[in-house]
Amino acid sequence: MKTKIVVIFIALAFVLSAVAVAFADDKSGKNSKQTTQLVALLPQSDGVSAVDLKRLMNEALPQILSADKAKFDKLMAVVEDVKAKTGLDLMQFDHFAGGVKTTKDAAGKFQFEPVMLARGSYNARALVAIAKLASKGKYREEKVGSRTIYIFSSKEILDDNKPKAKGNVFDSLIDKMIGSLTNEIAVTSYDQKTVAFGSTARVREMIEGKSRIDGQLLDLVFRSQTAVISFGAIMPKGMSSYLELDNPQIDKNIDAIKQIYGAMDVDQTGTLVKLTTKTNSENSAEELSSFLEGSALVFGGILGAAKGDDKQVYSRMLKNAKITRQGSEVMLDLKVPQSDIDVILGAK
């Protein structure tokens, strides 16, 4: 059990540091306004994320991979390969907004209903046409108002394109998420520069416009107006059963969380991660805060005694994480120097 918890903390540390590089400081707020407009088009959701894709590709990724040019070149080679095979230039994507609604099936298992909007300098109808060609005719059409949505089998797409490598915690998490998604993916052009995709029901819901993201969730997502990536979620009840961590204490802390939101930023010195959870009471927040502080101290010490530069980095991350509480909210702030990010990405 101790090993499993250590893996969870290592995974969390890696994800926070690796994903957080998708940020840069936008003093003008222009990109924030563009992304806000896109998020506002989403139908009612339990969780929302917003990404400035242009800055992710042009600023953030070059910075995080600055110490390993081979990795960056490999990434750009993939972008060029996709362009050569499909005609789709991933560098033309500027902004992304995604919303997820959680439901439970007859067996009580969580199902995720996603819908996403991507806006860029490409022609949205041409992009949909590329998707149709790539499917080799394996799709059906459905009219929603004046729009036509094209529906593909997500199982076939994922089976053809998901990574072949297996065995690590991230592959397992990806497989779990894929297994929780619906069986079809719908695609349509929302306007000239915006493509919409996701589950058929959610794409239909967005086009019909009968519901939109509520103000409470919008407020969570955009607490940090200049973030390249930001997110917010209203946590569904019983989320611990989905994560299957097999630890009553951790399960209790997870189920006490009502809301979660955060943002990540990067400057020339490193990466800053901010994460806030709002619990169902001040007592729950105190318990969660104490648990996180104690766990960071214990596992930071364990990793600090282990061999390997990457273990030392994870240890520093856990020890340097600033955990504070205010009322029923627990805040985590973490600054990771670029030199430590270089070690994580280059660790063998």
pLDDT in tens, 274-292: 899 999 999 999 999 998 9
- Whole-number Å distance between alpha carbons of 169 and 99: 24
Return the amino acid letter for 122: Y
Return the amino acid letter for 208: E
**Closest by CA position to 236, among listed 342, 88, 113, 122:** 113
- Whole-number Å distance between alpha carbons of 149 and 186: 6
Grade residue 6 by pLDDT with cuts at 50, 70 and 90. very low
Average predicted confidence (pLDDT) for the chain:
77
Q: How far is CA 137 from the centre of its chain?
A: 31
Grade residue 342 by pLDDT with cuts at 50, 70 and 90. confident
Q: In the predicted model, is pLDDT for residue 49 greater than 70?
A: yes
Q: In the predicted model, is pLDDT for residue 238 greater than 50?
A: yes
3-state SS assignment for residue 230: strand
277: which strand partners?
260, 330
pTM: 0.73
Which tokens is 87 given? 């005609």
Specify the pLDDT at position 16.
38
Does residue 113 contact residue 182 with C-beta atoms inside 8 Å?
A: yes
